[in-house]
Amino acid sequence: MSDSEDSVSINSEDGCSIASLACSDPAKGQSGAFTQATLLDSGRATRRDPFRAIVLLLGTSGHGKSTTINRLIGHNLLKIGRSELQGSTTKDIERVNIFVPGHHSSPSLTLSFDDTPGTDDTTNEDRATNSSLLRIYSNRYFPTKDGRRVYPNIILLIAAWASINEDAHNAPHQFTSALGKSMNQLHDSGLVDHERPNVIVVVTKSLSDWSQFDDLKTEREKDARWVTEADGRRRIITAIQRRLFPRLRPWKVVFIENQDNSFTDDGIDRGVRRHKFPVLPNRETSHQNLFDAMRDLIIEPSNGMLDITGLHALRVVSGAKRLKTKSLPPPEILVHKSDAQSDILPPSNAPSHPNRTSELVESYLGVTFNAITGDFGRTRVLKLKPQSIKTFGADSQLEDFRRLSSSTGAKVDKSTHIGGEVDVHAVAGAGFHYAGGSNSLSLHSDDDEVYDSRIVTKKVYIGDLTPRLTPEFLDIIKELPRWSIRSPEPHRNFFSMYGTHVILRMAIGGHVRVVVHDHHDIGHAGQQREGGVHMSVPGLQAAGVTATATGTYHRDSGSERARAREHFTIHRSGGARMAAQLSDVLGKHFANVDRGVNSCPWPVSAVRTKWMKALQDDPEFLKDDKTTEYKPLWGLSDLNAQQKEDLHAAFNYLYFQSTAKSIEGPLQPPPYSGPKEVEMSRAKNKKSISRTIKDFFSKAFKRSGESK
């Protein structure tokens, strides 16, 4: 099919736009083209440039920004060069433009890939320069006019698989991970659309560490481990996002593998557009999943309108038609390094929020929690006035370390579900368990021991006896159909988007948990990486744990038992500036704690005092503390009896369904006997975009006719 044959047909000779679709009927095959008015209407509704689709690339040097786009389109559009292989050599923001011709009399468009310098900033000056470049780029090319701002159509936030590390416990200006630094720059730039999603997180080199699974016997076991590791990285990404964008729903995370010998610095194989892409262990095809995510982002309606410009550009992104890359204009420099020098702000050690407690309250109080998946903060659903939020200091003292239990007692089974309710505090903690998608908690063995110390510094609650839901949220609930086991998807999607419970009371403070592992378990539970032991730690990421340290210390005793108990894992929540001292002091201390001791004091009183002081400025939300209150949606007074009954029944069914899956063990991908590599359906992708536009305008035409 030619480009003209699968283009959208909408008459425009008399100047009709989306506002007057009745002048043409695509169902009757009337041929024509889009007008500028149609594109302008789309741009206004979606807050995008009507004649230019912009894909912004952001990420660390060497993580595959250019290669990702080259493989996706099927052409060496962006040069790899030293910026990918040896660190970024340019501090400019460059734009590569692709001309998208119009069909019939429709206006032409431009697809632009805006490539930012790699965020391999090792000094404060590097970080300040990159932040300044992005800020200038934002102000220069996405200004606010008449109270409205235009945003990039898509922002691809790119990070390599091995670089995704816990970072949410740090203040944003102190993020250390590649993803955290990139996301913080994105936050400061103002380029993220808070009304219409425009960000996708792309995890590259997703099969680069496949050799770490060599200890597993079968391919399915390896696939299952990969799926678990991918799920853990998705949770880390969401936690960092929540630190910076607490009001936004979690961004789509896509895993891809870029490695392909067809792409070289000197050009690409002539048959590259028919090269194959790996099928990932989650059964997604690399890069096809990225194209699908980009399409889903673009087609999300805004004010009843699609991003028409973005959709047309995706037809080029599909790679269905060969590009004449030699005829493309050279990259355009949008912001030069010299432009940034005068704009660099002085470095600041000030926290990102003037009051950490206020930040936590804003992020969590009155916000929903999904007890099925363990996810927090989809949206605030309560009408809260400042005077209704009550805060008071807690009179609790930092506890001595208490031994919680062995693995037999520490396992939390989601099937413990009595009277339609669940131990939400346990699930809330499990939601931050790095090891995977299961919400069940467990230790590595019966010989592992867990010691916990915590302090609640403040308690915050909603003073209203009958908190009220927002009118917008009530309208969403009213749109739900009656609950039915035969069609659970509407309620499943509702819970996924908005949650199952609301947080009415918060405990704020900090806690430390120490897990002492047996030496003989380490070979099975962990992997030796970067000189330390990296392992999935027993369900003790519970309680909103945000940081983990691992290490090895030798006991003073020379007994066989002493040598066996030399590995530990420390989880800390709050007081980030004391992380290093806590790890050192507590590691040495617990290497010499006798087995079976029910409690023990803090080893160094000065460290204890310093950590308590650090918690005053840097506390955390204690999600599993019994002071924290989670109210089920069906327990709120604004809902009628039928709505409460349906929500409660839906939760019971969906929760038990997830329980059955978690009891079966780790998340297992479905059996797969197909090829490990497949071609991308480029022509099919292009046609699907054209079909989407046709379907949208056909429905719009029908609605217009019915209204008349």
The average pLDDT across 204-221 equals 85
Q: Where are the domains of the chain?
A: 18-339+682-707, 356-663
pLDDT over threshold 60, residue 642: yes
* Average pLDDT for the chain: 75
The average pLDDT across 231-239 equals 87
Instruction: Give the residues across from 201 on adjacent strands.
Output: 157, 253
Q: Tokens at residue 240, please?
A: 């960092």
pLDDT over threshold 50, residue 83: no
462 close to 454: Cβ distance less than 8 angstroms: no
Q: What is the pLDDT of residue 702?
A: 57
DSSP 149-203: E---SEEEEEEEGGG----TTS-GGG--SHHHHHHHHHHHHT-S-SSS--EEEEE
The average pLDDT across 94-119 equals 84
Q: Considering only CA atoms, which of 132, 153, 145, 166 is closest in space to residue 236?
A: 166
pLDDT in tens, 53-82: 999 999 988 888 888 998 898 888 876 544
CA distance linking residue 411 with residue 700, whole number of Å:
54
Q: What is the pLDDT of residue 405?
A: 59
Residue reference for tokens 């038609």: 321
531 close to 410: Cβ distance less than 8 angstroms: no
Q: What is the pLDDT of residue 518?
A: 57
Q: What is the pLDDT of residue 667?
A: 53
Pick from 79-88, 504-513, 630-639: least confident: 79-88
Please state the φ and ψ torsions of residue 376, each to the nearest 5 degrees.
Answer: -110, 160
pLDDT over threshold 60, residue 179: yes
pLDDT over threshold 60, residue 387: yes
User: What SS3 class is residue 708?
Assistant: coil
pLDDT over threshold 90, residue 503: yes
pLDDT over threshold 60, residue 408: no
Residue reference for tokens 């003209």: 4
Q: What is the pLDDT of residue 54?
A: 97
Helix 641-663 vs helix 489-498: crossing angle, to nearest 10: 90
104 close to 31: Cβ distance less than 8 angstroms: yes
Confidence label for 176 from pLDDT (cuts 50, 70 and 90): confident
pLDDT in tens, 1-24: 444 333 333 333 333 333 333 334
Q: What is the pLDDT of residue 567?
A: 64
The average pLDDT across 466-476 equals 91
pLDDT in tens, 574-588: 887 887 888 888 888
Q: What is the pLDDT of residue 123?
A: 54
pLDDT over threshold 70, residue 268: no
Q: What is the pLDDT of residue 447?
A: 62
Residue reference for tokens 């910026």: 83
Confidence label for 416 from pLDDT (cuts 50, 70 and 90): very low
Q: What is the pLDDT of residue 354?
A: 55
Q: Work out the percent of the chain whose per-residue pLDDT is above 70.
A: 69
Confidence label for 254 from pLDDT (cuts 50, 70 and 90): very high
Instruction: Give the residues across from 52 on adjacent strands.
Output: 110
The average pLDDT across 673-692 equals 86
Residue reference for tokens 């898509």: 154
Task: Tell the CATH topology of 18-339+682-707.
Answer: Rossmann fold (3.40.50)
Q: Tokens at residue 605, please?
A: 């009183």
The average pLDDT across 241-267 equals 76
Q: What is the pLDDT of residue 274?
A: 64
pLDDT in tens, 299-352: 887 767 889 999 999 989 998 887 776 667 888 999 987 776 655 554 444 444
- Using CA of residue 539, residue 544, residue 550, residue 554, what is the dihedral sign? negative
DSSP symbol at 260: -
Q: What is the pLDDT of residue 220?
A: 85
Q: What is the pLDDT of residue 506?
A: 94
CA distance linking residue 546 with residue 576, whole number of Å:
10
Identify the residue with better confidence: 482 or 516: 482
CA distance linking residue 594 with residue 596, whole number of Å:
6
pLDDT over threshold 60, residue 541: no
CA distance linking residue 533 with residue 526, whole number of Å:
6
628 close to 425: Cβ distance less than 8 angstroms: yes
Q: What is the pLDDT of residue 18?
A: 33
203 close to 229: Cβ distance less than 8 angstroms: no
Q: What is the pLDDT of residue 119?
A: 61
Identify the residue with better confidence: 487 or 707: 487
